[in-house]
Amino acid sequence: MSAFDYESGLTLYQRTVENKSNEIPAVRALLDVLDIADSIVTLDALHCQKATLSALISRGADYLVQVKANQKTLYKAVTSCFDTAFEEEKNLPEDVQ
């Protein structure tokens, strides 16, 4: 697991996560070490957890996280937002689309 700063091209933090351990507590511990205020943090679907995302918000970060269909209620809510947006776009005048 690593924390990478896109602008500088530097790896800020790197940690080996054992095969049978879980990345989730390691990422949460990492949030206590790094100053992520005013940053955009990207995470894979494993970290689409209320506690992790709340920790990002409380530290002043924005985030982009993948949502997979195995979180059925969340996945349905997210996809329905996009479905609605695409339907509304179809009703715009052609020169606005």
pLDDT digits (tens, 9 = 90+) for 38-66: 999 999 999 999 999 999 999 999 999 99
> What is the pTM assigned to this prediction?
0.77
Domain tally for the chain? 2
- Does residue 42 sit in the same domain as residue 76? no
- Output the pLDDT for position 16: 87
- Does residue 96 sit in the same domain as residue 59? no
Measuring CA to CA, which residue among 51, 50, 44, 41 is closest to residue 12? 41
- Through-space distance between the first and last CA atoms of the chain, rounded to whole angstroms: 41
When pLDDT is cut at 50, 70 and 90, the band that residue 1 belongs to is confident
Range of the domain at 25: 2-66
- Does residue 34 sit in the same domain as residue 51? yes
Pair type for strands 10-14 and 2-5: antiparallel
